[in-house]
Amino acid sequence: MLEHIELFFKSIFIDNMVFATFLGMCSYLAVSKKVTTAVGLGAAVIFVLAVTVPMNWLLDQYLLRDGALAWLGPEYADYNLSFLSFILFIATIATMVQLVEIVVEKFSPSLYNSLGIFLPLIAVNCAILGGSLFMQSRDIQTLGLAFNYGLSSGIGWFLAILAIAAIREKIRYSNVPAPLRGLGITFIITGLMAIGFMSFGGMLTGGDEAAPQEEVVAIAPTQEVSGLTADAAQQDLTQNENETVQEDSPATDNQINE
C-alpha cells in the first residue's frame, strides 16, 4: 500500500511529465490558451494513460521482455523481443485510442462531446508513449502499480496544463515585451514553474536518494566483506576529501584573518 501512495505522489509532483521530463509539450503549448479546452485535453490524457500503461505492461511482461515467452514452453525462454516494443506500444496506443473513442461515443455521448476532437490527437501525444516507455525502463513491478503510474502521471500532466492555461489567460493583460508575446513568454513561465516543481524533489524521504545512505550506515561494520563496493566507496570518499580540502582552505584562511 505504501509503495502505491509513494508512486502516486512521485509521479504527480517529483517526476511530473511536463516539468521534469518535458513530455507532451507540443499539445501542452498548443492547447493551453483557454482553461476549458485545457481541462478537456487533460481529462482525455488521464483517461488514455490509465488505460494504455497497464495494457502495455501486460504486453511487456508476457511478450516482449527477455524470457517473457517462457509461458509458451521452455523452448521459447531464450527469446528477447524487446526491440519490437516501440512498434507494439504505439500500435496498442493508436488502437486503444480508436477503441476508447468508439466506446465512449456509444455509452456516454456527453463525455464524448466534451473530449471530442482531443481523443484522436492523443495518439501522437508524446506523454502517452512516454508513459509506456518509462514504465518499461523503470521496471514497474505489478499490474496495479502500472495502472497507478499511468493514472498519476496523467493527473500530473492535467495539473500542469491547467496551471499554464490559467496563467496564460491572466497574462493577456500584462505588458509583455513584444517579441516574447505568446510562445516565448509561455516557455519562460513553464521554465520558472519547473524550477518551482523541483522543490518537491525532497518530499519523499523514502525515495531513491535517501534509502542507500541509511543502509550504508546500518551495514557499516560488515562493509569489508564486499570488496567492490568498499573500494568504490573509498574512491568516493577520497574524491570528496580532495574537494572538501580545497573548499576548506580559503575558509580557514578567512577564519585566521578574522
Interatomic CA distance for residues 10 and 134, integer angstroms:
13
Candidate segments 4-12, 13-21, 35-43, 249-257, binder of other proteins by CB under 8 A: 13-21
Does residue 202 interact with other proteins by CB under 8 A?
Answer: no
Distance of alpha carbon 3 from the chain centroid: 16
In this chain, which of 72, 183, 219, 237 binds other proteins, going by CB under 8 A?
183
The CB-side HSE value for 88 (13 A sphere, CA atoms) comes to 19
* The three three-digit cell numbers of residue 14, written as one number: 517529483
Whether 24 contacts 126, CB under 8 Å: yes
DSSP states along 14-27:
IT-HHHHH-TTHHH
Report if residue 170 touches other proteins, rule: CB under 8 A. Answer: no
Backbone angles phi and psi of 141, in degrees to 5: -85, -45
Nearer to other proteins, 141 or 242 (CB): 242
Question: Is residue 63 part of the contact set for other proteins (CB under 8 A)?
Answer: no
Interface residues for other proteins in 66-105 (CB under 8 A)? Answer: 83-87, 90-91, 94-95
For other proteins, the closer CB: 50 or 123: 123
Q: Within 125-154, which residues bind other proteins (CB under 8 A)?
A: 125-126, 128-130, 133-134, 137
Q: Choose, by CB under 8 A, the member of 5, 77, 117, 120 that binds other proteins.
A: 120
**Residue 185 near other proteins by CB under 8 A:** yes
From the list 189, 149, 122, the residue with the least C-alpha distance to 50 is 149
Judged by CB under 8 A, which of 124, 162, 166, 233 binds other proteins?
124
Q: Is 172 in the site for other proteins (CB under 8 A)?
A: yes
Report the distance separating Cα 123 and Cα 127, nearest Å.
Answer: 10
The region, left, alpha or beta by phi > 0 then psi within -120 to 50, assigned to residue 182 is: left
Binding site for other proteins (CB under 8 A): 19-26, 29-30, 83-87, 90-91, 94-95, 120, 123-126, 128-130, 133-134, 137, 172, 177-188, 190-192, 194-195, 198, 243, 246
